[in-house]
Amino acid sequence: MPYGTITADSGLTKPITINTLRKMKAEGEKFITVALYDAPMAAMAQKTGVEVLLVGDSLGMTVLGYDSTIPVTMEQMIYHVEAVRRGNNKSLIMGDMPFMTYATPEQAMTNATRIMQAGAHMVKIEGGEWLVDTVKMLGDRGIPVCAHLGLTPQSVNKFGGFRVQGRNDEQAEQIFNDALALDKAGADLLVLECVPVALAKRITDAVSMPVIGIGAGRDTDAQVLVINDILGLTEQPPKFSKNFLVEAEDIPGALRKYAADVKSGIFPSDEHNFG
C-alpha cells in the first residue's frame, strides 16, 4: 500500500503529514484514525499502520471516569499528548483543545501553542462559523487545525444530550455552511460526528480538506474510533462503534482488522449509520 502502510509487520515506514492525507483524499484512498491516550497503544498503532492518532478529550470519559468531556483540563491533555508522542514518531498526532480553552482567537493561540509543544502536529476544536477567525489566526502562525462539526461533545449541555445532529433541513444546511466556511478559512481536517450519511457525503464532496467520519457513514475520507470501542472495553458502546477484538487474536490484530475494513469499505456498515 502507498503512503507508509506497507505490511502488517512493518507498519508505517515514514511520517504521515497533512500533505499525505490530502493526497490520499485526492486519490480516493481512505486513511485510519484512532483516538488513544498512552505510549504503548500509540506504538502499537504505528506498527499496525494507523495514519492518524487523536488524543481526544474523550479521555475524560474513557480514562478519567467523568460523565462528559467538559471537566478535562489543559494539563491533562498535555500529559496524554506527551505520552502518545513518546510512543509514536510516524503517525500524525492531533490534540484536542479542552472546553473553553479557545473561546477567543487569542486564548486559542496561547493554548494551542502548549498542545503543539507537547508533541501534537495539529489541534482540534469544536464549532462552526464562529471559529473562522481562530482558524485563520492559528493557520497563519503555523498551527494546523482540525475542525469538528455535528455532535460536538463539548456542547452536550446545549444539545440536551448526545444526540444526532443535522436531521432536519435547517440543521443540515447550517452544518454544511459551517463546513464550507471553515474550509475556506484554512482548516486542514474536519471531523463529522453523528450526522446523516447523505449530509456527510455532501460535505466530503464539497470541501477540499479531508473529512474524518464517526457515525457519519462510509463516504467520508477516513474513519475514527476510540481505542476502547475497537477493543470492546466500553460498557454501553455507541451505535457507530464496533468491537474488532472479537474477530482477531490480539490487540494488533484488532487494529489491523479495523484498518482493513475501513479501507475496503466494509466498515462502517448500515447498522452503524444514521439516516
**Residues designated as active site:** 193
| Residue tagged 482558524 (cell numbers) | 135
HEC-encoded secondary structure of 202-243: HHHHHCCCCEEEECCCCCCCEEEEEHHHHCCCCCCCCCCCCC
Q: How far is the C-alpha of 81 from the C-alpha of 69, rounded, in Å?
A: 16
Q: How many CA atoms lie within 13 A of 64 on its CB side?
A: 19
Cell of 198: 447523505
Q: What amino acid occupies position 34? A: V
How far apart, in Å, are the Cα atoms of 205 and each of 185, 194, 208? 17, 18, 8
- Helix-helix angle 39-47:251-264, to 10 degrees: 50
Asked whether 12 and 5 are in contact (CB, 8 A), the reply is yes
Q: How far is the C-alpha of 69 from the C-alpha of 234, rounded, in Å?
A: 16
Q: Which of 226, 139, 135, 138 is nearest to 180 (CA)?
A: 135
